[in-house]
Structure 1
Amino acid sequence: MRSGRASGVILAVFLSVTWAGFAQAEVAGDLTNRLQATLEQILDRYDLPGATAAIVVPDGTVFGSAAGLADVELKRPMTPDTRLLAASIGKTFVGAMVLALESKGQVSQSDLLSKYLGDRPWFSGLPNAEAITLGHLLRHSSGLPDHPHLPEFHAAARARIARDGGRFTPEELIGFVVGKAPLFASGKGWAYTDTGYILLGLVVEAASGRSYYEMLTERFLDPLGLGDTVPSDTPDIPDLAVGYTVADNPFGLPQRTADRAGRLLWDPAMEWTGGGLASSASDLARWGHAFFGGEAMEAPYLDRLLDGVPIAPDTAGILYGTGVAIYTDTPDGPVYGHGGWIPGYVSSLRHYADHGVTVAFQINSDVGVVDDSSDHVAELEAMLARLAIEASQ
């Protein structure tokens, strides 16, 4: 039989633990409610259809929320697990794949591109073909043009989408820059280029002898439990929110970019390693927390990930590393991440290194972004950063 004193100690410990649990639940509920309210505020202010967001706090706990509609016409609500196209955030996974292969000695960022693709019939027609390294491609310092912004690509994509949905092979995409003049000598400037990341996808497959998506699933998606993240290699993506775009978009898409069943009216496979994934905000936040926190691979890699180049001579505080944008001097300390845009969808991923928190959000509309008429993405990033940093204190 326990003494009265021992029983009192046990009761005090029990009450303390129970109260701590209640307090933690209250804090968690408050953060989730504030996250929800923030999304609703942005949707109302900018007349957006729907959005999802997630915050990962220092201990790895994920808080996710959603607001608005995943399908406006059918009144399908957005949920925290709804998938949206993540667009160029997929470049962080490409960077991770190259880092993983480099850690195993299968590639080096100093390798010339010609080592892997020099035997392709179109290779000699690439701008700066013989001078480009893998590091140049990773950091957008190759001097290659960006095929998604070329008028001839817009015309071809518009025609192909109207005909059969618009699937392009990686080498067809590269073909849009073959024969063009370089923007600058490799390593002597900076210009964002999806084309460079398509080339990196081919390098990954040539060096490994396996498909990019197969390796991505095996090395990162499955081990990190990113079950909401899937290749966007088909118009039929389960649980995908309908994306809404502007009427005069360069690809001739209707404002609702999916049919009534939710099937995309174009083939997102054309993006491939320029992005190439559908995901949830919670999965993107988990991924960023692991990757930018140095936990996505066993071998050390953060020094190589964050070895960046300035995006312009007068923007020393903004660098681009191995598939990551690096903001070195912000009021919140260094910030690592990536944004994403693709017709009908906008995404953002940010890791606040000094605070150990990661934030991601996705919106199923690119109105205000594709036409550069709104600052709601930057506003939402700032609002969610405040929530996340406060939660870490």
Structure 2
Amino acid sequence: MRVRRLLTAIGLCLLTVAPAAAQDPAAELAAILDGFRDRYGFPGATAAIALPGARLITAASGLADVEAGRAMTPQTPMLAASIGKSFVAATVLALEAEGHLSRADLLADHMGDRPWFDDLPNAATITIGHLLRHQSGLPDHPHLPEFQTALAARIADKGSAFTAEEVLAFVLRRAPLFEAGTGWAYSDTGYILLGLVIERVTGRPYYDVLHERLLDPLALRETRPSDRPDIPGLAVGYTVPGNPFGLPVRTADAAGWLVWDPAVEWTGGGLASTAPDLARWGQALFGGTALEAPYLDRLLDGVLVAPETPSIRYGAGVAIYAKTPRGPVYGHGGWIPGYVASLRHYADHGVTVAFQINTDAGTVDDSTDLVPALEGALADLAITLASRKAPETGQ
């Protein structure tokens, strides 16, 4: 169970479902989404495949708002959740290349003057590299009962999001999970600290730095901060009854505004995006063109996540699957109440696949194989399309 849960956190692609036999790529992609929607009953989904030569195939299925009957389109944004960590990590690597920081730096070198710093678990020994690769030994605040209770109360009171330092307060004076650098445990808390480090060394808000360094240069125009409840065009997310944050099943009001403030996620994820933009991002990131200075060796410098899975490692904001039936796979999964997402790059084939679904039902409780099954089906289609000699067209 421990291995299954950690794989759910970062995402895994292993299962295979044969793609449709049609020869129109967009129709094939749509047919897969429609088939999965019929089988699993989710409200809606979007998917995109980035092929060599800047070709992009997109499709959508179902509804972005069930009650309003609003159709899902490839350009419908959803919360991308922890896929946002790949943007945070890339920003850190860019700052490292320019000499603003180093992965070997102690966190204390940048945050040691904060009044709460000495109360962090492993405060004196955590490095920037530990935070990037989830080796800090810090607890994961979203899964702490105290945090869940406090966030549920704030949502019920329609309060503003917790600030980064308010989030960190939930882990202060706790025992570390292990000595820094000696183990692996997924921690959103560590990525919140990376956001504070980025702001400290640049003297600017994280989202401004992100726009300047990544979103604008790469023309990711459908990706924006999820820093407010009223995100334009956002698909309504549907969650499960009795969730730990006290959210209603429909996580948005009648106007489509979220009934909670997603700004609490910040650099733990912190973005709304579309499947096409995520696919473009993955193709650039794993193709080595996202930053001006070379970075792939640092991005993919991974550590073992569990002894039971020796071929799975975690680098700088990226899960690394060294041995799969489709060759090496790089990417990240995303979960946040009401939404799941997946980003996968198949290195041997030069293709990237992204999808988003506007419900976490069946995923948050591990009750279905939806995510890995859809990852497998879309991977097989992407690899098939890449192998076709004639250029294909798509959106």
TM category (shorter chain) comes to over 0.9
Query: Residue 271 of structure 2 is aligned with which of 260, 277, 280?
Result: 277
Cα contact 1:165–1:265 (8 A) shared by 2: no
- Misfit runs of 4+, over 2 Å: none
Equivalent pair of 2:82/2:268 in contact (CA under 8 Å): yes
Shift of 1:372: 1.3
**In the alignment, what sits opposite 1:56?**
50
Q: Does 1:76 align with 2:81?
A: no
CA contact (8 A) 1:84 1:345 kept: yes
- 2:366 maps to amino acid: D
In the aligned structure 1, how far is the partner of 2:22 from the partner of 2:222?
22
Q: Tell me how far apart the structure 1 counterparts of residues 352 and 277 of structure 2 sit (CA, whole Å).
A: 11
Paired residues for 1:22-101 under 5 Å: 30-101=24-95
Note the alpha carbon deviations across 1:192-240, whole angstroms, 9 max, x for none.
0000000000000001111110010111111111110000000000010
Ranked by relative contact order (alpha carbons within 8 Å, sequence separation 6 or more), the top structure is: 2
Distance in structure 2 (CA, Å) of the matches to 1:379 and 1:256: 25
The answer to whether residue 369 in structure 2 is matched with residue 375 in structure 1 is yes
With 100-109 and 56-65 compared, the bigger mean Cα shift is at 56-65
Q: Take 1:160 and 1:97, find their aligned partners in 2: how far apart are those partners? A: 31
Name 2:14's counterpart in structure 1.
none
Asked whether the equivalents of residues 157 and 166 of structure 1 are also in contact (C-alpha less than 8 Å), the reply is no
In the alignment, the residues of structure 2 paired with residue 259 and residue 275 of structure 1 have an alpha-carbon distance, to the nearest angstrom, of: 23
> Are 1:215 and 2:209 matched, yes or no?
yes
Stretches of structure 1 that go unaligned for 5 or more consecutive residues are 1-26
Q: What secondary structure, in the 3-state scheme, does the structure 2 residue paired with 1:164 have?
A: coil
- Matching residue of 1:179: 173
Larger helix percent? 1
Distance 2:176 2:324 in 1: 33
The corresponding residue for 1:246 is: 240
Between structure 1 and structure 2, the one with the greater Rg is: 1
| CA distance 1:28–1:34, change in 2 (3 Å) | closer
**Structure 2 gap ranges (5+):** 1-20, 388-395
Query: What is residue 234 of structure 1 aligned with on the other side?
Result: 228
Number of aligned residue pairs: 367
Select 2:139's aligned residue among 139, 142, 145. 145
1:392 is the counterpart of 2:367: no
Task: Calculate the TM-score normalised by the size of structure 1.
Answer: 0.92
**1:314 shift after superposition:** 2.5
CA distance in 2, matches of 1:217, 1:251: 30
Which of 144, 156, 164 is the matching residue for 1:170?
164
- For residue 39 of structure 1, give the secondary structure of its aligned residue in structure 2: helix
CA distance in 1, matches of 2:187, 2:220: 27
Q: Distance in 1 between the 2:278 and 2:161 partners?
A: 26
- Match for 2:280 among 261, 277, 286? 286
Contact 1:309–1:321 under 8 Å retained in 2: yes
Contact (CA 8 Å) 2:288, 2:295: kept in 1 or not? yes
The code of the aligned residue for 1:33 comes to: A
Q: Tell me the TM-score normalized by structure 2.
A: 0.92
Q: Work out whether residues 22 and 28 of structure 2, in 8 Å CA contact, stay in contact via their aligned partners in 1.
A: no
